[in-house]
Amino acid sequence: MSEAQPISETEAKARLLDLKSLGNPKAMKLYRRFDGILILVLFTFITLGIQIQFTLTAGDWDYWIDWRDRRWWPLVTPFTLLLFIGAFTYGIWQRLRLPIIATAVTTLLCLVSWLSRYLNFYEFTHFPMSFTFPSTYIGLGILLDCALAMTRSLIASAMIGGGLFGALVYPLNWSFMAPYKVPVELNGTLMSVADLMGYQYIRTTTPEYLRIIEESTLRTFGGSVTPLTAVFAGLCGIVIYAVFLWVGSWINGLDKYAKRII
Amino acid sequence: MNRILARKAQLKSLQLNSLLAAVVLMMLAGDVLAHGERAQLASMRMRTVHWFDTQVTPLNVKVGDIVTVTGKFVTSVWWPKHMPSIDDTVYLNIGVPGPTFLRLHSEVNGVPMMRSTSFPLGKVYEYKTVLRARIAGRYHVHPILNVKDAGSLVDKGTWLEVAENDSGEPFINEYTTLTGDTINLETYALGGVYFWHVVWIVMGIAYLLYWLIRRELFIPRFIRIRAMGDERANELLTKRDFIASSLFFTLTLALILGGYFWAEYKYPITIPLQTGKVDVPLIDVPVGDLVIEDAHASYELAGRSLTIRAKMTNNGEGPIRIAEFLTANIRFMNANVDAGEVVEGEEMVARDGLNASVDVIQPGQSVDVKLVASDALWEQYRMTGLIHDPDSRFAGLVFYYDDNGTRYYQEVGGAVLPDFF
């Protein structure tokens, strides 16, 4: 995805000196300190970036248990996560060969989401945690990063990891979301526990019709909506991840302008 | 030295003054009393939904007690054309600060309102919402209609005091599922949520630590890759890395599938989220004998009053008394006609706000009537913005009574012109 640029003799000498510095304990100590700062900066940037991006794109699908349907939520969330992960992964992989971005993004998102739900939703606005707990995508991040580490290929990791990332959103969260899909009855109407909570815990500006759930024609496939959505989400995951790896490669190539300025 | 000391004293004095000013400003700040209803365009409030007979009972409760909100509304035939209509999709909601109350039941014309519906224009609807107090505090409770693509249409609010319950026990919201389990929705299934999140966070952190705790991390790896070139860069990933990644991959897949099948075993009966629209039948209401024609109005900026001129005909067999004009949730009552109730806690009522040139219209009589609705409420509720609206028309309900004391209403609407002098 990138082309090797010819380097000058001075640049080659500088690189050789850099390489030699790896055998110098003092230089290594300095590098480790700088690495610590880089981790802090990188993780802070990822945390803020993914929180803002996820809030703006997936938002309500992750805030409320009565939005996490079998049709749109498993499609929207991997889409929005993979575009962030893909763009970041390319640069980190090309320059550092570290397969950590997907896991870092999903883990940091999970931690910051818990903080936000506890402070903003539970403490400040009194929603019960059982109605607003976040979903988890950490397992999907690990699968994607491991696929990259094992295959050492961005394309292969897009095929395996990107596919699994999209396809396994629902099974990953089902372990703790299933109780909220148990049926109840209210005034002669069948509802799930999640629907009942959405009705009882009042959201003044989130009326029932605002939920984008169960809207599609996949029901014509004999009602097998969940597995079909998983397959479709997997295919989308492959495509989106590949596209945003390409976007990442484009962003990665912008450093040539920085070099010109310097 | 003295100058420095004097300067310090000045600074200290400035800090004290600033602190004092901040405290005074905080003390001056009042409660937030509105929920945005005054921010809506005046014409929008006048020509969309006419709420009336709103009643919130009781007004003082404890956590766990039941509160009932009832009332009626008429969907205006003068609905602004530039605004998405209520006859498409609408949801009956309640305006309270978040889930300080639980909504146990809501209905319109007897139909449960868990779902959205649509309301044809020019019809009357009776609604009821049953709440259970959940969090102690003082709340302004508003019935609300959320209209798709148009936003919230808010009735006036009623203050409600919720005190802590005597027992001091945590709030419980129990419900029995169709599988026969009684659950507390406040904390339902949180054990599983916490367990699985801890498992995944530990897995994520373990994976990150594996890759981040190593002798050579960012800078050294960058230097090596630059020296090795793209073709040989993969040599930085060792056999140990491959084995660790394989183990993480396998363990993750096993946990996902294990968790999925465990949940399927534990909760064999589940359903998808439910959604849809319901139909609301219309109700029969007594139709009065008053016919209002050729209505038009002028708005006097200086006098803060709306003057409606219309031809009114009494087609009935008894006299009619004009008692009230309602628009934008403000009740302008005719003090000359002893009718119309004001319920406890009701706001936005001008008890002597309506002056009718003809208080009583006799049977068969057809008269030109001038209704003047004037009160400081026009200013208070920002109705003076009427002249800034893109479609200068008004609408409201005229309430009148017959001989037997039966109340009727008739919607009136038309063009409105400002009167600047």
Helix H, strand E, coil C: the string for B208-276 is HHHHHCCCCCHHHHHHHHHHHCHHHHHHHCCHHHHHHHHHHHHHHHHHHHHHHHHHHHHCCCCCCCCCC
Contact (CB, 8 A) for A102 and A140: yes
d(CA B182, CA A184): 11
Does some domain include residue B273? no
The string of pLDDT tens digits covering residues A92-103 is: 999 999 999 999
Examine the pLDDT at B137 and tell me if it is beyond 90: yes
pLDDT band at B33 (very low <50, low <70, confident <90, very high): low
Using omega within 30 degrees of 0 as the cis cutoff, is the peptide bond preceding B363 cis?
no
The minimal CB distance from B201 to the residues A107, A193, A196 is found for A107
Does some domain include residue B284? no
Q: Would you state the pLDDT for residue A5? A: 62
Q: Domain map of chain A by residue range?
A: 17-261
Four-point Cα dihedral B31, B34, B35, B41, nearest 10: -150
Q: Does A200 touch chain B (CB under 8 A)?
A: yes
Q: Would you state the pLDDT for residue B173? A: 97
Same domain for B376 and B401: yes
Examine the pLDDT at A1 and tell me if it is beyond 60: no
Contact B146 A205 (CB under 8 A): yes
Q: Would you state the pLDDT for residue A64? A: 96
d(CA B234, CA B53): 75
The minimal CB distance from B102 to the residues A94, A103, A200 is found for A200
Q: Does A249 touch chain B (CB under 8 A)?
A: no
Q: Would you state the pLDDT for residue A30? A: 93
Same domain for B144 and B44: yes
Same domain for B44 and B21: no
Contact (CB, 8 A) for A244 and A237: no
Q: In b/e form, how buried is each residue of B274-285, taking b as 16+ CB within 10 angstroms?
A: bbeeeebeeeee
HEC letters along chain B: CHHHHHHHHHHHHHHHHHHHHHHHHHHHCCCCCCCCHHHCCHHHHHCCEEEEEEEEECCEEECCCEEEEEEEEEECCCCCCCCCCCCCCEEEEEECCCCCEEEEEEEECCEECCCEECCCCCCEEEEEEEEEECCCEEEEEEEEEEECCCEEEECCCEEEEEECCCCCCCCCCEEECCCCCEEECCCCCHHHHHHHHHHHHHHHHHHHHHHHCCCCCHHHHHHHHHHHCHHHHHHHCCHHHHHHHHHHHHHHHHHHHHHHHHHHHHCCCCCCCCCCECCCCCCCCCCCCEEEEEEEEEEECCCCEEEEEEEEEECCCCCEEEEEEEECCEEEECCCCCCCCCCCCCCCEECCCEEECCCEECCCCEEEEEEEEECCHHHHCCHHHHHHCCCCEEEEEEEEECCCCCEEEEEEEEEEEEECC
Q: Would you state the pLDDT for residue A19? A: 83
Q: Would you state the pLDDT for residue A66? A: 96
Same domain for B244 and B130: no
Same domain for B172 and B198: no
Name every chain B residue with its beta carbon within 8 A of the beta carbon of A2: 230
Q: Does A118 touch chain B (CB under 8 A)?
A: no
Low-confidence winner among B134-143, B161-170, B318-327 (lowest mean pLDDT): B161-170
- CATH number for region A17-261: 1.20.1450.10
Q: Would you state the pLDDT for residue A20? A: 87
Q: Would you state the pLDDT for residue B2? A: 65
Domain that holds residue B52: 37-177
Stretch B324-348: mean pLDDT: 87
The minimal CB distance from B144 to the residues A143, A179, A204 is found for A204
* Count: domains in chain B: 4
Contact A103 B208 (CB under 8 A): yes
B350 CA: distance to closest CA in chain A (Å):
28
- Shortest CA distance from B264: residue in chain A: A178
Same domain for B132 and B51: yes
Domain boundary among B177, B209, B231: B177
Contact (CB, 8 A) for B249 and A147: yes
ipTM score of complex: 0.93
Same domain for B173 and B41: yes
Does some domain include residue B271? no
Q: Does A227 touch chain B (CB under 8 A)?
A: no
Examine the pLDDT at B384 and tell me if it is beyond 60: yes
Stretch A116-133: mean pLDDT: 96
Examine the pLDDT at B232 and tell me if it is beyond 60: yes
Same domain for B219 and B116: no
Tokens for B218? Answer: 């960012």
The minimal CB distance from A199 to the residues B114, B152, B204 is found for B114
Same domain for B141 and B233: no
Q: Does A122 touch chain B (CB under 8 A)?
A: no
Give Rg (Cα) of chain A: 22
Same domain for B7 and B64: no
The minimal CB distance from A107 to the residues B134, B208, B264 is found for B208
Instruction: Tell which wins on pLDDT, A8 or A149.
Output: A149
Stretch A148-166: mean pLDDT: 96
Does some domain include residue B1? yes
Contact (CB, 8 A) for A168 and A140: yes
Domain boundary among B114, B149, B177: B177
- Shortest CA distance from A143: residue in chain B: B249
The string of pLDDT tens digits covering residues B34-90 is: 556 677 788 888 999 999 999 999 999 999 999 999 999 999 999 998 899 999 999
Name every chain B residue with its beta carbon within 8 A of the beta carbon of A133: 190, 193, 197
Stretch B202-206: mean pLDDT: 98
Contact (CB, 8 A) for B319 and B403: yes
Q: Would you state the pLDDT for residue B30? A: 53
Here the CATH number for the domain that contains residue B356 is: 2.60.40.1580
- Which of B104, B200, B213, B222 is the best mutation test for A, with the most CBs of A within 10 A? B200
Examine the pLDDT at B32 and tell me if it is beyond 80: no
Instruction: Tell which wins on pLDDT, B99 or B347.
Output: B99
pLDDT band at A255 (very low <50, low <70, confident <90, very high): confident
